[in-house]
């Protein structure tokens, strides 16, 4: 079986190493920071022992996984790897430097992949003389639990590299979707309004945090409300992703970040990890009760879901991914209760278009402009199911 190299032993690197070793590969992990490898080993032992307690794996399986993970001394230990996945700091200059080094160390046939969430794969690949073996393989956090993996070929990537990378990740029991090398790929692009429109509704004073979360879970059927989820992800991280996508789309107003989240992030109110975010997580904190007004709740859900649908339709319009992969990504990657295009059919495309047009007329903002594909589908009286 092919040996796998993992560069970076942080949250993502250790999760991906666990997945590859569980699938039976010998794995080499390297990190430039002295304590990172030791910390990863301690973390991994804890995770595997918990899986034994829950009777998900037995001791022999744990021992097999840990014996297949090797902690490298330098990047030279990747020399005989067939696939190297980079999961280091999200910085284009550092990633480019590292990819040039990886190219020099590995065989010509080794696939070099980046787990970047927001950088262009084309720019990372450009650091290599032979860029056709570079690709994006984007896992979600925590990698062992999240089934979805986005596969992102750069314009330089060869078809062989795409097929081999996809086959490899599929063989690890993951669900892969193929995505064009565009900002936010599928999930981090389409999901923006889940946070952004909820923040907008809050900032306008239409409803408070608890009420919006109540509406989105109880009426919308989402597993977590947007504010609970932002607190869980971390407001610093969620804000940075939004800002990165906004800038990468040449400041398209659809992705404009909210001051509320920026201030929370600046204040250190990151969410759960800081004990405070939109909610207070301290022991004696008073729980805020939502206003359980069904009409208000339905209005909130309709507004956020129509914005999400518009993003999904627009991603399809720009051929970011196939219809099937867009639906898979949002249901399996972020556990949405339904595929957004199926949801659009169910709501009636004319109703979705009307909601967006009403918002655009009310606010006069480009933020609410409907996707050309949505307009076309309504004009031709078509549904996504029949596409
Ligand atoms: N955390 C997430 O939710 C998530 C999800 C998907 C993708 N990503 C992406 O995965 C990558 C890693 O994210 P993370 O959350 O695991 O970060 P992290 O900070 O937990 O870990 C990064 C690790 O890389 C190491 N490192 C930094 N520079 C290095 C270098 N030059 N050589 C070797 N090791 C180096 C650091 O010591 C650290 O251990 C980023 O590109 C991020 O955008 C993160």
Q: Where are the domains of the chain?
A: 4-178, 186-387
Task: Respond yes or no: is residue 138 known to be catalytic.
Answer: yes
Between CA 93 and CA 99 the distance in angstroms is: 10
Between CA 249 and CA 38 the distance in angstroms is: 39
The number of the ligand 1 atom at minimal distance from the alpha carbon of 95 is: 31
At 97-139, the pLDDT tens digits run: 999 999 999 999 999 999 999 899 999 999 999 999 999 999 9
Q: How far is the CA of 47 from the centre of ligand 1 (A)?
A: 19
Between CA 11 and CA 289 the distance in angstroms is: 34
112 lines ligand 1 (CB under 6 A): no
225 lines ligand 1 (CB under 6 A): no
33 lines ligand 1 (CB under 6 A): yes
At 27-80, the pLDDT tens digits run: 999 999 989 999 999 999 999 999 999 999 999 999 999 999 999 999 999 999
240 lines ligand 1 (CB under 6 A): no
pLDDT at 41: 97
Q: What is the pTM of this model?
A: 0.95
How many other C-beta atoms can be found within 10 angstroms of the C-beta atom of residue 219?
18
Task: Respond yes or no: is residue 11 known to be catalytic.
Answer: no
Right CATH for 186-387 from 3.40.640.10, 3.30.70.1140, 1.10.1040.50, 2.60.40.10? 1.10.1040.50
At 71-82, the pLDDT tens digits run: 999 999 999 999
Q: How far is the CA of 86 from the centre of ligand 1 (A)?
A: 8
Between CA 339 and CA 253 the distance in angstroms is: 24
Between CA 14 and CA 71 the distance in angstroms is: 11
What's the CATH class of domain 4-178? alpha beta
């Amino acid at each position: 079986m092919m040996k796998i190299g993992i560069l970076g032993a942080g949250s993502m690197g250790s999760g991906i190493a666990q997945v590859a070793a569980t699938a039976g590969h010998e794995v080499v992990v390297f990190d430039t920071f002295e304590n990172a490898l030791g910390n990863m080993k301690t973390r991994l032992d804890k995770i595997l022992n918990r899986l034994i307690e829950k009777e998900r794996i037995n001791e022999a399986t744990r021992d097999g996984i840990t014996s297949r993970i090797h902690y490298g001394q330098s990047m030279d230990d990747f020399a005989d790897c067939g696939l190297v996945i980079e999961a280091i700091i999200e910085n284009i200059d550092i990633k480019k430097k590292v990819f040039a080094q990886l190219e020099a160390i590995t065989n010509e046939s080794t696939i070099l992949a980046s787990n970047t969430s927001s950088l262009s794969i084309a720019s990372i690949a450009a650091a290599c003389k032979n860029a056709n073996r570079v690709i994006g393989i984007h896992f979600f956090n925590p990698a062992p639990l999240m089934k979805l993996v986005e596969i992102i070929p750069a314009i330089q990537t060869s078809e062989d590299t795409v097929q081999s990378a996809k086959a490899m990740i599929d063989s690890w029991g993951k669900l892969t979707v193929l995505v064009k090398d565009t900002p936010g790929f599928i999930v981090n692009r389409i999901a923006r309004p889940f946070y952004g429109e909820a923040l907008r509704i809050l900032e306008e004073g239409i409803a408070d945090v608890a009420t919006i979360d109540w509406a989105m879970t109880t009426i919308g059927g989402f597993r977590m409300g947007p504010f609970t989820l932002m607190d869980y992800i971390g407001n610093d991280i969620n804000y940075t992703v939004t800002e990165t996508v906004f800038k990468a789309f040449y400041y398209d107003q659809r992705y404009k970040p909210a001051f509320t989240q920026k201030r929370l992030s600046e204040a250190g109110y990151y969410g759960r990890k800081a004990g405070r975010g939109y909610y207070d997580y301290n022991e004696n904190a008073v729980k805020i009760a939502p206003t359980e007004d069904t009409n208000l709740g339905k209005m909130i859900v309709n507004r956020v879901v129509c914005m999400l649908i518009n993003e999904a339709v627009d991603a399809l319009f720009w051929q970011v991914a196939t219809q099937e992969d867009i639906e898979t990504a949002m249901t399996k990657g972020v556990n949405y209760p339904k595929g957004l295009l199926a949801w659009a059919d169910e709501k009636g495309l004319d109703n979705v278009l009307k909601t967006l047009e009403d918002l655009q007329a009310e606010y006069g903002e480009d933020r609410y402009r409907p996707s050309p594909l949505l307009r076309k589908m309504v004009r031709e009286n078509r549904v996504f199911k029949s596409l």
